[in-house]
Amino acid sequence: MPRRTRPRGNITTLPSGALRVRVYAGVDPVTGSEHYFQETVSAGPDAQKIAEKMLNRVVNQVLEGRAPKTKATINQLIEKYVEVADWEETPGVPIAA
């Protein structure tokens, strides 16, 4: 029996008539929150076709591992690094005060 999977992304219509493409990209390894990519397509006669192409492109990037894995800020990344870094004193090098 084939495994059922939910769609990776969707297209929704905004009150302005523009379309929002939203793709699930997994759990952010730094923040632990769900990670989504969102892009907006301006309203127009070809908006639906453009949004569908964009959805396919972003889903493929996520599936191929070519999309960023986190939306963490530089400060969040530095804090995470400091938490897990294994600090040891180097002989002969004074510690700055």
Task: Tell me how many domains the chain contains.
Answer: 1
Asked if residue 26 is part of any domain, the answer here is yes
pLDDT tens sequence across 9-32: 899 999 999 999 999 888 887 778
Sequence-distant (6+) residues with CB within 8 A of 7 are none
Asked if residue 37 is part of any domain, the answer here is yes
pLDDT tens sequence across 63-93: 877 666 777 778 877 888 888 777 776 776 6
Local confidence band at 2 (pLDDT 50, 70, 90 cut-offs) = low
Asked if residue 1 is part of any domain, the answer here is no
Local confidence band at 56 (pLDDT 50, 70, 90 cut-offs) = very high
Residue 69 has a CB neighbour count (10 Å cut-off) of 14
Q: So what's the pLDDT on residue 6?
A: 65
Asked if residue 94 is part of any domain, the answer here is no
Task: Read off the pTM.
Answer: 0.63
